[in-house]
Amino acid sequence: MPKDCIFCKIVAGQIPCFKVYEDEHTLAFMDINPVNPGHCLVVPKIHAPNLFESEDAELARTMAAVRKVSRAVQKALNPYGLNLLQANGPGAAQSVFHLHIHIIPRERDDDLRMNWGLKAGNKDEIAKISEKIRD
């Protein structure tokens, strides 16, 4: 594991997260700077910096978990819509270089743009929403 990768540290349990789903190969947790309530991330446990350097099998497992967690978000929050997003490289506003898929619940008229600014969310609110999704 690259020693400065924050998502590898989360996978290893070295730093905390609001976990919503875990299996042998993947982990899903809440984004701490949610662009909308319920914004979460799914990562493969094995480090790959981006889509280009990921393995087919890892990607397939990650996407299966993405669908599982998306269904849970849909059921728990019943959002107006739901987007997936995955960034590759600084030019695409990738800020953490461990492959991850954003699951973004949409709100009516939220006018969300692709490259939003990072703004810390309220931890209590994030924790409450993570419980709903996890359940």
For Zn ion, which residue of 39, 47, 61, 100 counts as binding (CB under 5 A)?
Answer: 47
Q: Which of residues 84-113 bind ligand AMP (CB under 6 A)?
A: 87, 93-96
CB of 38 to ligand AMP, least distance (A): 13
Using alpha carbons, list the distances in angstroms from residue 59 to 39, 63, 106. Answer: 20, 6, 24
Contact residue for ligand AMP among 11, 17, 27, 101 (CB under 6 A): 17
Closest CA to 59 of 88, 26, 30, 83: 26
* 100 among known catalytic residues: yes
Q: What DSSP state is assigned to residue 21?
A: E
Record the tokens describing residue 57, joined without a space.
């099998």
Residue 32: name its binding partner from Zn ion, ligand AMP, none (Cβ under 5 to 8 Å by kind). ligand AMP
The closest alpha carbon to 20, from 84, 95, 99, 103, belongs to: 103
- The alpha carbon dihedral of 22, 124, 85, 105 has a sign of positive
Taking the complex as a whole, the smallest distance from the CB of residue 107 to ligand AMP amounts, in Å, to 17
Which of these ranges, 34-42, 87-95, 96-104, 108-116, lies near Zn ion under the rule CB under 5 A?
A: 96-104
Instruction: Answer with the entry of ligand AMP, Zn ion, none that 57 interacts with (C-beta below 5 to 8 A by kind).
Output: none
The answer to whether 109 and 82 have CB atoms below 8 angstroms apart is no
For Zn ion, give the closer residue by CB, 9 or 68: 9
Smallest separation, CB 117 to ligand AMP (Å): 10
